[in-house]
Amino acid sequence: MADTTSRTGSRYATPELVDFVNRVHAAHDEALQLAFDAPVRHDMPAIQVAPSEGKLLGMLAALCGARRAVEVGTLAGYSAIHLARAMPEDGVLHCLELEPRHAEVARASLQAAGMLERTRVHVGPALESLESLASEAPFDLVFLDADKEGYPRYGRWALEHLRPGGMLLADNVYFFGQLMADTPAAAAMRRFHEETAADFQSVCIPTPDGLLMAIKPLG
């Protein structure tokens, strides 16, 4: 049996290989490319998910039958387009974004993709927005891609407000390679891993910076 103790997918992921699989499996249409390039055009951090990860988010949303979903951390709307497209016409994706300027860019991206009517963009601290959405629970899917120290609190909110069988997704759970560092932020992310593993059926998908997928138990 092969030793998989320290092996990750990134060992083989050369730039040429990644470019090829993105072109074949996760090619952009005009609206996705517009949203993907928006951070550079608008002097925003270019920290959106990669094309294959965005495609994966949409597929997972479709697989869990998401009709009511929450995205914590929307940036320019790239991942939101993938999620919203995977939902039915009467579905609603709540997009939470701290920065007003980023939220405006996200709205423009969603409009260009024809997804603005399927989304609601909320501006302000995520915990405040989540509190305001509690009355609309239960949700089918929650996706986290915001401040990493907040993940434990966002994860607890998801546990309380997802339906049984609902899905929690969280990006950057390797914490930019610093998950095992001796810092409060890294400790918070490790706590998120541990709490999620205890409360959900979970797995950490070895994307370049880790994508956690978890299912809320049915009983």
**Burial label, 100 (beta-carbon count in 10 A; 0-12, 13-18, 19+):** exposed
162-171 and 139-144 beta bridge pairing: parallel
Q: In this predicted model, what pLDDT tens digit does every residue of 110-137 receive, in sequence order?
A: 999 999 999 999 999 999 999 999 999 9
| Topology, domain 47-215 | Rossmann fold (3.40.50)
Average pLDDT for the chain: 94
Is 212:172 a contact under the CB 8 Å cutoff? no
Q: How many helices (H) and strands (E) does the chain have?
A: 8, 7
Bridge partner list, 78? none
Length of the chain: 219
Alpha helices in the chain, H assignment, sequence order: 15-25, 30-41, 51-63, 78-85, 100-112, 126-133, 151-161, 184-199
Q: Where are the domains of the chain?
A: 47-215
Give percent of the chain above pLDDT 70. Answer: 95
Q: In this predicted model, what pLDDT tens digit does every residue of 32-83 receive, in sequence order?
A: 999 999 999 999 999 999 999 999 999 999 999 999 999 999 999 999 999 9
pLDDT value of residue 2: 39
pTM (two decimals): 0.93
